[in-house]
Amino acid sequence: AQSVTQLGSHVSVSEGALVLLRCNYSSSVPPYLFWYVQYPNQGLQLLLKYTSAATLVKGINGFEAEFKKSETSFHLTKPSAHMSDAAEYFCAVRAQGGSEKLVFGKGMKLTVNP
Amino acid sequence: GAVVSQHPSWVICKSGTSVKIECRSLDFQATTMFWYRQFPKQSLMLMATSNEGSKATYEQGVEKDKFLINHASLTLSTLTVTSAHPEDSSFYICSAPRLPGELFFGEGSRLTVL
């Protein structure tokens, strides 16, 4: 079975500051890991994904995440926050080679202050 | 542009009525689609896996007679909330894999039951 933990529910940063959203996973088999972004009343958009290739994954909008097996983590970062980054961010996991259905973390709301 | 589309985006209905939500893959065929439910300020919970040409697979705790899923074609899955009640009010999101590991989400459908 797989699970994802996103500690806390809200992160607030200043525009131009580093964004760090934490995600820890639990999986009994090698995982695939994902970060999605959700804007109000919209579906989810894929930011990036780890699928057992490079451990440092670069995504859209300047985001990146690093898979660290020893820490069972897949934290999302962006060097410089932009106002348009304000949204809800979800980390998700699924088993490699398994069904496409994802298990999501509870999400993290990112607020960017001017 | 969107590759998975949901309709309607918003629906308000009276208690006791049934509501149908459509999920379409726009430029690819999907033998499997996933239906999620999202309560306000919470994560996405997988309700069921829709399988083209066969019965849907429901997650534990989801009432299959309450949430009817039909996947009649390779591009369309429907979720019908039968005899809706206020506690069924939620944001329903579908997703479909275009390629292995490439999962796309619809825009979501917000249901309000009065």
Residue A37's pLDDT is what?
95
| Start-to-end Cα distance in chain A | 41
Among candidates A32, A46, A106 on the partner chain, residue whose Cβ is nearest the Cβ of B43: A106
The answer to whether A44 contacts B43, with C-beta atoms less than 8 Å apart, is no
Mean pLDDT score across all residues of chain B: 92
Starting at the edge strand that comes first in sequence, how are the strands of the sheet with B4-7 ordered?
Answer: B4-7, B19-25, B76-81, B67-73
Q: Average pLDDT over chain A, rounded to whole?
A: 92
Would you say how long chain B is, in residues?
114
pLDDT tens digits, residue range A24-81?
A: 999 888 889 999 999 887 888 999 999 888 899 999 999 999 999 999 999 999 999 9
**Across A109-114, average pLDDT:** 96
Task: Give me the phi and psi of A80, to 5 degrees please.
Answer: -140, 115
Per residue in B43-93, pLDDT tens? 889 999 999 989 999 999 999 999 999 998 999 999 999 999 999 999 999
A52 touches chain B (CB under 8 A): no
In this structure, what DSSP letter does residue A28 have? S
Q: φ, ψ for residue B87 (rounded to 5)?
A: -70, -10
Q: What's the average model confidence in pLDDT over A84-95?
A: 93
Highest mean pLDDT among A72-86, B38-52, B96-110: A72-86
Contact: B100, A101; criterion CB under 8 Å: no
Q: Which residue from A32, A42, A101 is facing B46, i.e. has the nearest CB? A: A101
Residue A84 has what pLDDT? Answer: 94
Report the distance separating Cα B97 and Cα A34, nearest Å.
Answer: 14
Give the span between the Cα atoms of B84 and B21, in whole angstroms.
13
Residue that the structure tokens 């993290």 belong to = A108
φ and ψ of B27, to 5 deg: -135, 20
CB-CB under 8 Å, B105 with A44: yes
Chain B interface, mutation test: which of A9, A50, A89, A101, most B Cβ atoms within 10 Å? Answer: A101
pLDDT per position as a tens digit, B13-23: 999 999 999 99
Q: Does A74 touch chain B (CB under 8 A)?
A: no
Predicted local confidence at residue A95, as pLDDT: 78
pLDDT number for residue B102: 80
pLDDT over threshold 80, residue B1: no
Residues of B in contact with A99 (CB under 8 A): 49
Judge whether B50 and B77 are in contact, CB under 8 Å: yes
Are residues B101 and A49, on separate chains, in Cβ contact within 8 Å? Answer: yes
Confidence of residue A99 (pLDDT cuts 50, 70, 90): confident
Contact A107 B42 (CB under 8 A): yes
Q: Side chain identity at A7, as an amino acid letter?
A: L
